[in-house]
Chain A
Amino acid sequence: MIPREFVYFDPDSLDDALGLLAQYGDDAKIMAGGQSLLPMMKLRVLSPPVIVDLWRVPDLAYVKEEDDVICIGALTTHYQLETSAVIQAKLAPLAAAAKVVGDPLVRNLGTIGGSAVHAAHNADYPAVLVALGAQMVLMGAKGKRTVAAETFFEDMFATVIQSDEVLTEIRIPAERVGRPGVYLKLSRRGTDFALVGVAASVVMAANGTCSEASIVLSGVGSIPVRAAGAESLLHGQRPTMELIAEAAVVAARDLDPPADVQADAQYRRDVAQVFVRRALTESCPQS
Chain B
Amino acid sequence: MNRIIHTTVNGRKVVEENVEPRMLLVHLLRDRLGLTGTHVGCDTTNCGACTIRFNGLAIKSCTMLAVRSEGAEIMTIEGLAEDDKLHPIQQGFWEKHGLQCGYCTPGMIMSALQLLERYPEPSEAIVRRELEGNLCRCTGYQNIVEAVLWAGEQLKSQESTV
| Closest Cβ–Cβ distance, residue A77 to chain B (whole Å) | 9
**B27-67 with Cβ < 8 A to chain A:** 27, 43-46, 48, 51, 57-60, 62-65, 67
Cβ of A8 and Cβ of B67 under 8 Å apart? yes
Chain A residue nearest to B128 in the complex (CB): A190
Q: How far is the CA of A102 from the CA of B45 in the complex (A)?
A: 10
Decide yes or no whether A159 CB sits under 8 A from chain B. no
Decide yes or no whether A6 CB sits under 8 A from chain B. yes
Residues of chain B contacted by A34 (CB below 8 angstroms): 63-65
Decide yes or no whether A42 CB sits under 8 A from chain B. yes
Q: How far is the CA of A35 from the CA of B59 in the complex (A)?
A: 10
Cβ of B22 and Cβ of A6 under 8 Å apart? yes
**A88-110 with Cβ < 8 A to chain B:** 102-106, 108-109
Cβ of B48 and Cβ of A4 under 8 Å apart? no
Cβ of A106 and Cβ of B60 under 8 Å apart? yes
| Closest Cβ–Cβ distance, residue B63 to chain A (whole Å) | 5
Q: How far is the CA of A42 from the CA of B65 in the complex (A)?
A: 11
Chain B positions 91 through 124: 1 when the CB is less than 8 Å from some CB of chain A, otherwise 0: 0000000000000000000010011000000000
B residues lining the A interface (CB < 8 Å): 1, 20-24, 27, 43-46, 48, 51, 57-60, 62-65, 67-68, 111, 114-115, 129-134
Cβ of B132 and Cβ of A5 under 8 Å apart? no
Q: How far is the CA of A8 from the CA of B45 in the complex (A)?
A: 22
Chain B residue nearest to A103 in the complex (CB): B133
Chain A residue nearest to B71 in the complex (CB): A56
Cβ of A105 and Cβ of B68 under 8 Å apart? no
Cβ of A39 and Cβ of B44 under 8 Å apart? yes
Chain B residue nearest to A51 in the complex (CB): B21
Residues of chain B contacted by A41 (CB below 8 angstroms): 22
Cβ of B43 and Cβ of A191 under 8 Å apart? no
Q: List 9 A-B contacts (CB under 8 A).
A: A1-B43, A6-B22, A35-B45, A38-B24, A38-B45, A104-B111, A104-B129, A105-B51, A190-B132
Decide yes or no whether A263 CB sits under 8 A from chain B. no
Which of the residues A8, A31, A53 comes within 8 Å of B1, measured between beta carbons?
A: A8
Chain B residue nearest to A190 in the complex (CB): B132
Chain A residue nearest to B22 in the complex (CB): A3
Decide yes or no whether A55 CB sits under 8 A from chain B. yes
Chain A residue nearest to B55 in the complex (CB): A108
Cβ of A103 and Cβ of B22 under 8 Å apart? no
Q: How far is the CA of A93 from the CA of B63 in the complex (A)?
A: 28
- The 4 A-B pairs with the shortest beta carbon distances in the complex, nearest first, are A103-B133, A8-B21, A105-B133, A108-B57
Q: How far is the CA of A43 from the CA of B46 in the complex (A)?
A: 13
Chain B residue nearest to A79 in the complex (CB): B57
Decide yes or no whether A206 CB sits under 8 A from chain B. no
Q: How far is the CA of A3 from the CA of B27 in the complex (A)?
A: 13
Q: How far is the CA of A109 from the CA of B65 in the complex (A)?
A: 12
